[in-house]
Amino acid sequence: MADVAPDDLSVTGEVVALCQDLIRIDTSNYGAEEGPGERKAAEYVAGLLDEVGIAAEIIETAPGRANVVARWGGTAGGAHPERGALLLHGHLDVVPAASEDWQVDPFGGEVRDCPQAGLSVWGRGAVDMKDFDAMLLSVVRARQRAGRVPERPVVLCFTADEEAGGHQGAELLVRDHREWFEDCTEAVGEVGGFSTTVRGQRLYLIEAAEKGMAWMRLTARGRAGHGSMINHENAVTRLAAAVARIGVHEWPVRLTPTMKTLLATVADIAGTEATPENAPALIDEFGSAARMLGAVLRNSTNPTMLNAGYKVNVIPTEASAHVDGRFLPGFEDEFFATLAELTGEGVEIEYLSKQPPWEMPYDGPLVDAMARSLLAEDPGAVVAPYTMSGGTDAKHFTRLGMRSYGFAPLRLPADLDFTALFHGVDERVPVDALEFGARVMDRFLDQI
């Protein structure tokens, strides 16, 4: 564990060291049973909580696939008992990293300079999402030591398998261990609260919606034969045509309530009005962040894998492809109907992971608490909601009726290409952003 003096009650006192320690525990998720799993990280987190008197339970859903849950706070009656408990959740797994592509050891947790962001913690998981795990643990441990326990009941949850859809993590916790979450009415996790800069104005984005996920395998079958002969039942040809249609399809702009609010905020900064027609231009105001935000103006389908054949002169019986499909809240029917047309006849669709989108109202006490906490640390900023292009564990927790938001606060330099760091090479998080996030989370917990 991080070596922190017992009388250090600062919420930022150990956030950097905790982030380093978590990165150094390799929890690479290869999307199958192989890999190191999350058990060591779960034991580390449970130990940190137990050390300050918060009883934690490790729930293993498969060998090595471990989750941590704990209850914290909740004085008798509480300030607002009608609001129920608050779930604070983060995941322990990370996507794999090829060390030969990195400037540093991806599991070294090294602190070194970054040209765009100054002193930073480098390593796989630095932004996705061991930074938030470290913020949360640092704040909870400091508050517990100081006796600053929230009146509202809080469930702390650190999950396995988020990077592969949460099937060995949040999904099974919701299904088999629902008793931990029965009184939770609201939830906070990744990815939100980070800053972007539009025309010199710092803007913090809180995740209030998320695209649905359709990971699929397309399979075409045909007649095997010699590669030198005419064959009008070629599985490779049939599959390739379907993949090409899906990959080049231009999905139309569709604005959800969350994105309408964000675009109106950006339009106000840019001195214009937000319309579906100028939505792409407004998204371009975000610079490098437009890579992610542009993806939530439309449904999307990206072919990612192809597999067919075993010899150049043999026409195979079967060919397959994988496609990553994402669909906006409220536009599911349009997505699946269009996908069926694009796929065409003779190609079977098998869903490897099919999870619904979600969208929450951007209002209420929890939203107000997030905004106030950010503005207290950065008074000149603007706070707005956004839709997340990827998937998080919130997809599972929202099934229990919780209002969910992404809020892992980070104040970032304007020229840091933050969205490229998610699953990217040389992933890193600025030290001062980690400390900023811990202070914001501390303020947030004062207001929940």
pLDDT at residue 225 tops 50: yes
In the chain, % of residues over pLDDT 90: 85
Q: If you average pLDDT over residues 163-176, what whole number do you get?
A: 94
pLDDT at residue 2 tops 60: no
Domains annotated on the chain, with CATH: 15-208+358-447 (3.40.630.10), 212-355 (3.30.70.360)
Residue 306 tokens, joined = 């192809």
Task: Using the CB atoms, write b or e for 348-363: b if 16+ within 10 Å.
Answer: ebeeebebebbbbebe
Q: What pLDDT is attached to residue 188?
A: 98
Q: If you average pLDDT over residues 329-355, what whole number do you get?
A: 95
- Give residue 390's pLDDT band: very low, low, confident or very high (50, 70, 90): confident
Q: If you average pLDDT over residues 286-310, what whole number do you get?
A: 94
13 Cβ partners below 8 Å, 6+ apart? 4, 138, 142
How far apart (Å, rounded) are the C-alpha atoms in residues 447 and 229? Answer: 73
How far apart (Å, rounded) are the C-alpha atoms in residues 81 and 182? Answer: 14
Q: What pLDDT is attached to residue 34?
A: 65
Q: If you average pLDDT over residues 258-263, what whole number do you get?
A: 96
pLDDT at residue 8 tops 60: no
In the chain, % of residues over pLDDT 70: 96
Q: What pLDDT is attached to residue 405?
A: 98
Average pLDDT, the chain: 93
pLDDT at residue 30 tops 50: yes
pLDDT at residue 5 tops 50: no
Residue 301 tokens, joined = 């389908």
pLDDT at residue 446 tops 60: yes
Residue 28: DSSP 8-state: B
Contact 43, 59 (CB under 8 A): no
Strand 194-198 to strand 358-359: parallel, antiparallel, or no bridges (unpaired)? unpaired
Question: pLDDT, tens digit, for every residue of 130-143?
Answer: 999 999 999 999 99
Question: pLDDT, tens digit, for every residue of 83-128?
Answer: 799 999 999 999 999 999 999 999 999 999 988 888 999 999 999 9
Residue 218 tokens, joined = 């397309």
Least confident range from 29-33, 192-196, 234-238, 251-255: namely 29-33
Residue 425 phi/psi, 5-degree rounding, is -80, 145
> How remote is the C-alpha of 359 from its chain's centroid?
15
Report DSSP letters for 269-337, one per residue: HHTS---TTTHHHHHHTTGGGHHHHGGGSS-EEEEEEEEE-SSTTEE-SEEEEEEEEEE-TT-HHHHHH
Q: What pLDDT is attached to residue 244?
A: 97
Contact 279, 253 (CB under 8 A): yes
Q: If you average pLDDT over residues 375-383, what whole number do you get?
A: 97
Strand 184-189 to strand 85-91: parallel, antiparallel, or no bridges (unpaired)? parallel
> How remote is the C-alpha of 437 from its chain's centroid?
17
Q: What pLDDT is attached to residue 3?
A: 41
Q: What pLDDT is attached to residue 415?
A: 87
Q: What pLDDT is attached to residue 78?
A: 52
Contact 13, 146 (CB under 8 A): no
pLDDT at residue 282 tops 60: yes
How far apart (Å, rounded) are the C-alpha atoms in residues 15 and 430? Answer: 12
Q: What pLDDT is attached to residue 80?
A: 62
Q: What pLDDT is attached to residue 33?
A: 64
